[in-house]
Amino acid sequence: MRRAFVLALVLILTMGGALWLEAPGPGPKAPPPRIGIVLIHGKQGSATQFGQGLATRFETAGYLVDRPDMCWSGTRIYDEPFLDCLHDIDASIERLKARGASQFVIAGQSLGASGALAFGARHDGLKGIIAMAPAPAPGVARRAEIAPELDRAKALAAAGHSDEKTEFNDLNVAVLFHVTTTPSIYQSFLAFDGPANLVANTIHLKAPVLWISGLRDPTQMPRNLGYDRAPPNKLNRYVEVEADHFGTPAASRDVILAWLKEITAP
């Protein structure tokens, strides 16, 4: 009887050991999330002309990039109200999702940076916002070239002509040009109390921001009036580069790649 009990115990232990040896180990680690970057051109720019060098660097580093053609491009300029233009960023995110991205950074230059800030103020769950030479500053509404035009746009809207195409003055950096759009759309881009006020949007950001200003860029506002208005975040960064307005993106490549590593670190 005792011998039978010992043999049974040995058999159980042997089988248990075999089962333990054959038990599967932990599965393979889940791959890290793919980061998609929406790269946005400035006023009168285009998706094909802006950001090719940046996009190449980002893709070489393993990021996915999409460059939308925005409603402030040279061919479309002001064909939609400012906030409606942000749907072009939503479309970029959907294209990036189809390519495997699951986390998103919105990056832009000049008016594209202002668009990125506006999008970041209105959307949760973004990985980060990159604002390269954000412009125009809200004070553009008081410029002599613009203030009378805003008054005219308001008067036209009040008279029932808010959706009628009209020619207005506009500025790109310091260069005056003319744009044909509706009074309501014109105000949405340039009015101090409009949705494109980049400082008001910065105050409501829901993601960390990398703000890059060129030391030779006259469009850039003092740090305390812009970047410092962002909600506190340990990943917020303000960087100055030796560049003018249009040279800021090229001068920012290494800074951006370093920050992307920082915000995606485990």
On the question of pLDDT at 47 being above 70, the answer is: yes
pLDDT attached to residue 26: 56
CA-based R_g, the chain, Å: 26
On the question of pLDDT at 20 being above 90, the answer is: no
Cβ-contact 227, 238 below 8 angstroms: yes
Helix, strand, or coil (residue 49):
coil
**Which phi and psi (to 5°) does residue 262 adopt?**
-65, -45
pLDDT attached to residue 266: 82
Question: How deeply is 51 buried, as exposed, middle or buried, from its count of CB atoms within 10 A (0-12, 13-18, 19+)?
Answer: buried
CB neighbourhood size of 194 (10 A): 18
Band the pLDDT of 18: cuts 50, 70, 90: very low
On the question of pLDDT at 24 being above 60, the answer is: no
- Please state which of the ranges 48-62, 120-134, 186-200, 205-219 shows the lowest mean pLDDT: 48-62
Label the pairing between strands 175-181 and 128-132.
Answer: unpaired
Cβ-contact 120, 140 below 8 angstroms: no
On the question of pLDDT at 101 being above 70, the answer is: yes
If you average pLDDT over residues 81-105, what whole number do you get?
98
On the question of pLDDT at 17 being above 80, the answer is: no
Question: Of 175, 188, 184, nearest to 153 (Cα)?
Answer: 184
- Kindly state the helix (H) or strand (E) to which residue 3 belongs, with its residue range: helix 2-22
Cβ-contact 168, 181 below 8 angstroms: yes
User: Which CATH topology does 34-138+194-264 take?
Assistant: Rossmann fold (3.40.50)
Q: What is the pLDDT of residues 135-186, one digit of tens each?
A: 999 999 999 999 999 999 999 999 999 999 999 999 999 899 999 999 999 9
Beta strands in the chain (DSSP E): 34-40, 64-66, 101-109, 128-132, 166-172, 175-181, 209-214, 237-241
If you average pLDDT over residues 188-215, what whole number do you get?
98
